[in-house]
A and B are shown apart, each in its own frame.
Chain A
Amino acid sequence: MAPEKKLQIALYWGAACGGCDVAVLDTNEFILDVAALADIRLWPIAVDGKYRDVEAMQDGELDLTIFSGAVRNSENERIAKLLRQKSKLLVAFGSCAHMGGIPGLANTTTREAIFDRAYLHNPSIEQGSQTIPRPETKVAAGTLDLPSFYRRVYKLADIVDVDYYVPGCPPAPSQVKAVLLAIAQGDLPPKGSVVGAADQAVCDECTREKKEKKLKRFYRPWEIIQDPAKCLMDQGILCAGAATRGGCGVRCPNTGQGCRGCYGPLPNVIDHGAKFLSAVASIIDSNDPEEIRKVLEGIPDFACIAYRFGMPASLLQRNLQS
């Protein structure tokens, strides 16, 4: 179905690494089809559009905005709201927009601690340098402004109304294609759906052999020589695949790395990390509190493992101190 007029689309990055934009580009020749189907009005990584161009648009003039990255500062918030206003459909693209992503782990700490570590006390900072980012800085020629850094990280849906979620860090190129085509063809699922991912966990796609699980120990991936044919959890290596939506092609377990959970929780799950926690703890093969404690010592920093991509989307969202 050839559209009568070209689709108006925008792609934007909030608190992001650029990987989602690369994922779109990784669709290779398909991007040329996209360019043929659509006018890309804003895409900081690839085209020339400016904010003022977006501000000048009518409300709803954009058919689709693909927003990757979380909301960390005032610019992210402003542009998220601007794009929402100007777009018919707003898609939270990638783990950061969907759940907060890796930037979301900053919710375990405070803004003060972050600034201290990034700008004041680390091995590459000059002694005595006290420069931290400020929203406004007066210089001879006038006032320079920077976006203000928020106290915590938000997922996109915390700030604006989101139509669809495309999970993944980044979403697999095949999913990107499927989603863009679906939207282009008007083939839309119910609002609020997670698209481009399976309704079953990664284990369904994973070809490793799964047996009954009873663990006496957890291992870091480098601690043992894995059997590539056996389930990683069976071997004591943490893999969040059982708690995570599939559809990614089992990219990580196929290379010997446990799934890190970037596609987020399954449909009926309220809190991704809590479910992973429950499964991991339940299969510990011990009924003795002391032995259980020792086994759990093999899992350092579990909150960051369980909520690696989704801390802002978790039930508690952030450390109380932040």
Chain B
Amino acid sequence: MSFEPKIVGFLCNWCSYAGADLAGTSRIHYPPNLRVIRVMCSARIDPTFVLRALAGGADGVLICGCHPGDCHYSEGNYKAMRRYPLLKQVLAQYGVEDARVRLEWVSASEGQRFADVVTDMTEKIHALGPSRIRAHLQLDKVER
């Protein structure tokens, strides 16, 4: 059975989730590997969620928010913008491949862009192969 990536997406209600819905109403197709979790704002996204998803077996994590300056809560996406590079630094130190966690700004009118982002990310993760994180966490077998 060929590898089908499992990607967890955190989408903000006002922009990116609406953009994803627009891709739907416009019937723009994209790969079925993304599983979306809705939050009100990208500011709600705790780096813990990203780590939890990776530890839980996600091959990739997509974080989407409104374009800078357009946040429904005026500054929420800036918080995501601040946390993301530090999270990436930590992930790099854990040996997690760069392409597995991605931050994208998608507006409510960007249905096509959303589909393009998901397609691109799915392809890149497909090329990387399954994430080894979960397998490396198995504690039932001590690695002697």
Contact = CB atoms under 8 A, between A and B. Distances in A.
Direct contact of A and B (CB under 8 A): yes
Interface string B21-57: 0000000000000000000000000111001101100
A315 B51 contact: yes
A123 to B, nearest CB: 26
A318 B136 contact: yes
Interface in A247-296: 269-271, 273-275, 277-278, 280-282, 284, 286-287, 289, 292-293, 296
Given A315-B51, A317-B137, 8 more contacts: A77-B142, A150-B143, A152-B143, A154-B139, A159-B142, A287-B81, A293-B85, A302-B89
B89 A278 contact: no
A274 B51 contact: yes
A286 B68 CA distance: 12
A274 B48 contact: yes
A315 B52 contact: yes
B83 A281 contact: yes
B132 interface: yes
Contact of B142 (A108, A154, A269): A154
B139 A158 contact: yes
A303 B82 contact: no
A316 to B, nearest CB: 5
23 contacts: A108-B93, A270-B48, A271-B52, A275-B46, A277-B86, A278-B46, A281-B82, A282-B82, A284-B82, A287-B78, A289-B81, A292-B81, A292-B82, A293-B85, A301-B93, A302-B93, A304-B93, A314-B51, A315-B54, A316-B54, A317-B136, A317-B137, A320-B94
Contact of B47 (A274, A284, A317, A322): A274
A150 B139 CA distance: 13
A150 B87 contact: no
Contacts of A281: 79, 82-83, 85-87
A306 interface: yes
A162 B90 CA distance: 29
Contacts, number: 104
Contacts of A122: none
Contact of A320 (B78, B79, B86, B96): B96
Contact of B46 (A108, A151, A274, A319): A274
Interface residues of B, number: 31
B117 interface: no
Interface in B49-97: 51-52, 54-55, 68, 75, 78-79, 81-83, 85-87, 89-90, 93-96
Interface in B100-125: none
Contacts of A120: none
Most buried by B among A293, A304, A306: A306
Given A292-B81, A303-B93, A321-B95, A316 B139 contact: no
Contacts of B48: 269-271, 274-275, 278, 315
A287 B93 contact: no
Given A108-B93, A315-B51, A150 B81 contact: no
A130 interface: no
